[in-house]
Every structure is written in structure tokens, then in C-alpha cells.
Amino acid sequence: MKLLIAGGSGFLGSHFIRYLSQKYPDYELYNLDRHNFMDDFSEVKEFKVPENYHFMANDVRDTKVIEKLAKDKDLILNFVSMGTEGVATTFTADFITTEMLGTFNLLEATRKFGIRRMIQASDYEVYGEARSTEGIARPSLETDSMFPTSPSASAKAGADNLVYTYFLRFQTPTVILRSASNFGPFQNPAKMVAYFIIQALEGKKIPI
């Protein structure tokens, strides 16, 4: 089994790769990203780069590169993310081109080469602020419509719509995952759960 993992150096993608490399050592994992997350562990004595891991330093927006890397793969996973929380003030055109063009390239490769499935790792932020009919805030449901409230979440929602359109129009085998509030080792310390844990460990006040 050969997997092309776009954005595999991010928080979710890197955890996915580390898990799969150990559980399925016969799988070949190809990480397409601008940065090799394995380099971050180079000084950890006990760490060893898995033999089934391959880093491909490229941009998901490069159509020719995607076609070259995808043509012999069984699965494509898209973990590419420019971030969706608190980034509205730093929003640039890269958000649109990376999310939309990158997702388009992966979808086209999936359709063209008969890839078994493409999995789109999205985000709950595409739903915006869910509220009941009485206007009370509530958790988002999978059946909710998308009402993103930041430019970056809008870019992610646009990519999701593209995935859905390919499924409807071309019967491209796709799955969209929208996880919420992920946390774990090696997470950005500015993220909520990581921040609260650090504050607690240092005996500092935890804001509510």
C-alpha cells in the first residue's frame, strides 16, 4: 500500500505518519510538504526515521509534481492547512491558492489515475458559530450548513465544496473529515488545550 500524504508535516499529518509507520511497516508513506517534520526529532537519541517514510519537498500547488507523485499511489490524504483559528488578520492569497488549487490538484490526480480514495482532513471551523432556532450557541452537527466566519475558514470550506463537487460530478471516491479541538504531544503551545496545560503546570492562572 502506497500513500501520498499532502501536508504530512503539520500537527495532524505528522501524528498520522508516526502512527501508520509503526502499525503498518509494510506501507510506503510519502510526505509531500515544504518542511520535513522528521528533522525536528533529529536530536532525540531514541528516535529513528522509519524505513517506510519518504519525504518529498514540494508544493501541493505544483500540478506536474502532484501528477508525478500520485500516479502509482493507492490512497491520497490531504492534511494541508494554512490554519483556521485566529488568523484572519494575517490572511494572504496563499490561503486561497494552497487550499483551493492544492485540493484541486489532488482531486484531479485521484480522478485521473484511479486512486482508491482521497481523504480530505478539514476542520470544524467551516461551520462557523452554530446556534439553535432560539439563537443559543450549540455544538456543530455534521448536517449543519457551512457558514465560516474567517477568511481562512472560508478557504477551507471552499476546498471542501470542491471535494464534494468531484464526488457528485465525477463519482470521485472521497471522504471529508472535520475534527474539532485536536490536542496532543508536539502541539503548538499557543493552542487552547496546550496553553491551559502549560499554565497549570507553571502554577499560573487559567483564563476562562
97 domain residue, yes or no: yes
192 domain residue, yes or no: no
200 domain residue, yes or no: no
Q: Which residues contact 64 (CB under 8 A, 6 or more apart)?
A: none
71 domain residue, yes or no: yes
188 domain residue, yes or no: no
Average pLDDT value for residue range 90-119: 92
pLDDT greater than 70 at residue 85: no
Domain span including residue 16: 2-183
Record the cell numbers describing residue 165, joined without a space: 463537487
Average pLDDT value for residue range 120-126: 92
Comparing 21 with 37, which gets the higher pLDDT? 21
pLDDT of residue 87: 47
How far apart CA 111 and CA 44 sit, in angstroms, is 40
> Residue 183 — pLDDT band, cuts 50, 70, 90?
confident
How far apart CA 190 and CA 195 sit, in angstroms, is 6
Number of structural domains the chain divides into: 1
Closest of 53, 164, 173, 77 to residue 117, by C-alpha: 173
Express each pLDDT in 143-165 by its tens digit: 888 988 888 889 999 999 999 99
Q: Please, what's the largest Cα pairwise distance for the chain? A: 56
35 domain residue, yes or no: yes
Q: Which residues contact 65 (CB under 8 A, 6 or more apart)?
A: 32, 58, 59
189 domain residue, yes or no: no
pLDDT greater than 80 at residue 119: yes
Residue 21's alpha-carbon distances to 26, 45, 145, in angstroms, are 8, 19, 36
Express each pLDDT in 52-65 by its tens digit: 999 999 999 999 99
**CATH code assigned at 82:** 3.40.50.720
Comparing 163 with 51, which gets the higher pLDDT? 163
pLDDT greater than 90 at residue 37: no
pLDDT greater than 80 at residue 12: yes
pLDDT greater than 50 at residue 1: yes
133 domain residue, yes or no: yes
